[in-house]
């Protein structure tokens, strides 16, 4: 199983607007260029650094491939992109759907899971189901049934948090998964800001549950993968936000702060991890607890 938490820094190149404004690329890559960046003479260390020229495939193999293998072995995992608005989170996670070169982490994961299933022995039976919801102003809204606007977080008999009432869809091909993603994306909260003309105002969680059973030995495994598209962190004054958009920005920053606190507590091995400080961290709690391959 891969380590419980890894932080990978992807550095994007200057975009067209930045080039037009004569912005300067100020990041350098000390040492072997794979584990640290330097800005203004100060170094920042990570588990891995992905430089601007890296391909989408290289990013996938570094970021996601080990976690997909864990999920197929009955573990839980989470992948999310964290960063400022317009920093390239959506390009990393989604990329250009249908493009074999520029597709992002999520479509590659989906193809990888089904390719694994297609290559397995006939005595292995797989069931794949997906859910898709967003956390907007700290309320959970089902992106596959927009009438469900304030879903609660409950605990099952093993005290594992889950979103009660979230729509679940069984899927049997990558195409069916992509249809669900398109349906959910059309229902997300977005707004125009000074930094991004299509800025997500919510955190979205796309959850893939993989259940498998060996029909000869009756051994069963159950893994979950949470794919999180975080709303961008923003300096409120810089975005030109006001009214509802200002309230959204404040709520986004508050929930991102809670997420950072949980990650810090886990990295430091703290005896208390503040999962309950936000809906997002509560939902993801299951995937952050180191567990043996789950049987069901």
What's the confidence (pLDDT) of residue 194?
42
Q: Would you say 226 and 78 are in contact if contact means Cβ atoms under 8 Å apart?
A: yes
Q: Would you say 16 and 94 are in contact if contact means Cβ atoms under 8 Å apart?
A: no
Q: Is there a binding annotation on residue 87?
A: yes
Instruction: Give the tens place of pLDDT for each residue, 263-283.
Output: 899 888 899 999 999 999 999
3-state DSSP helix/strand/coil % of the chain, to nearest 5 = 30, 25, 40
- Mean pLDDT over 57-75 rounds to 96
**By percentage, how much of the chain surpasses pLDDT 90?**
66
Q: Is there a binding annotation on residue 104?
A: no
| Residue carrying structure tokens 């390719």 | 115
Q: What's the mean pLDDT when you consider all of the chain?
A: 88
Comparing C-alpha atoms, which of 238, 273, 270, 272 is closest to residue 253? 238
What's the confidence (pLDDT) of residue 119?
94
Q: Is there a binding annotation on residue 85?
A: yes
- Mean pLDDT over 163-167 rounds to 97
CA–CA dist 295, 133 (Å, integer): 26
What's the confidence (pLDDT) of residue 44?
97
| Residue carrying structure tokens 């899927």 | 171
Kindly list the structural domains of the chain, giving each domain's residue range(s) and its CATH number in brackets, ordered by start.
Answer: 1-53 (no CATH), 55-288 (3.40.850.10)
Both tokens assigned to 248 = 């959204």
- Mean pLDDT over 195-201 rounds to 50
What's the confidence (pLDDT) of residue 236?
56
CA–CA dist 118, 133 (Å, integer): 28
Q: Is there a binding annotation on residue 90?
A: yes
Q: Is there a binding annotation on residue 235?
A: no
Q: Would you say 202 and 249 are in contact if contact means Cβ atoms under 8 Å apart?
A: no
What's the confidence (pLDDT) of residue 192?
41
Q: Is 226 exposed, middle or buried (0-12, 13-18, 19+ CB in 10 A)?
A: buried
- Residue 295, pLDDT > 50, answer no
- Mean pLDDT over 226-248 rounds to 71
Mean pLDDT lowest for which of 23-32, 116-125, 189-198? 189-198
The residue that leads in pLDDT, 251 or 36, is 36
Q: Is there a binding annotation on residue 193?
A: no
- Residue 286, pLDDT > 90, answer no
CA–CA dist 284, 296 (Å, integer): 20
Q: Is there a binding annotation on residue 199?
A: no
What's the confidence (pLDDT) of residue 242?
60
Q: Is there a binding annotation on residue 74?
A: no
């Amino acid at each position: 199983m891969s380590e419980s938490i890894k932080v990978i820094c992807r550095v994007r190149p200057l975009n067209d607007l930045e080039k037009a404004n004569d912005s300067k690329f100020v990041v350098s890559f000390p040492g072997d260029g794979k584990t640290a960046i330097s800005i203004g003479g100060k170094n920042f260390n990570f588990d891995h650094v992905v430089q601007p020229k890296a391909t989408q495939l290289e990013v996938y193999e570094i970021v996601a491939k080990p976690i997909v293998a864990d999920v197929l072995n009955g573990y839980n995992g989470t992948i999310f992109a964290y960063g400022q608005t317009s920093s390239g989170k959506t390009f990393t996670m989604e990329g250009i759907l249908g493009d074999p070169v520029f597709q992002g982490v999520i479509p590659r994961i989906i193809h990888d899971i089904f390719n694994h299933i297609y290559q397995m022995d006939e005595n292995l039976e797989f069931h794949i189901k997906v859910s898709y919801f967003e956390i907007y102003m700290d309320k959970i809204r089902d992106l596959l049934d927009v009438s469900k606007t304030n879903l609660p977080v409950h605990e099952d008999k093993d005290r594992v948090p889950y979103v009660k009432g979230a729509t679940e869809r069984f899927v049997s091909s990558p195409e069916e998964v992509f249809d669900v993603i398109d349906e959910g994306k059309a229902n997300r909260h977005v707004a125009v800001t000074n930094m991004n003309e299509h800025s997500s105002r919510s955190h979205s969680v796309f959850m893939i549950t993989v259940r498998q059973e060996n029909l000869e030995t009756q051994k069963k495994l159950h893994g979950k993968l949470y794919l999180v598209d975080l709303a961008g962190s923003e300096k409120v004054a810089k975005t030109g936000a006001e009214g509802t958009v200002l309230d959204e920005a404040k709520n986004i920053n508050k929930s991102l702060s809670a997420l950072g606190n949980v990650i810090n507590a886990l990295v430091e091995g703290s005896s208390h991890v503040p999962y309950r400080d936000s809906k997002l961290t509560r939902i993801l709690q299951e995937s952050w607890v180191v567990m043996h391959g789950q049987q069901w």
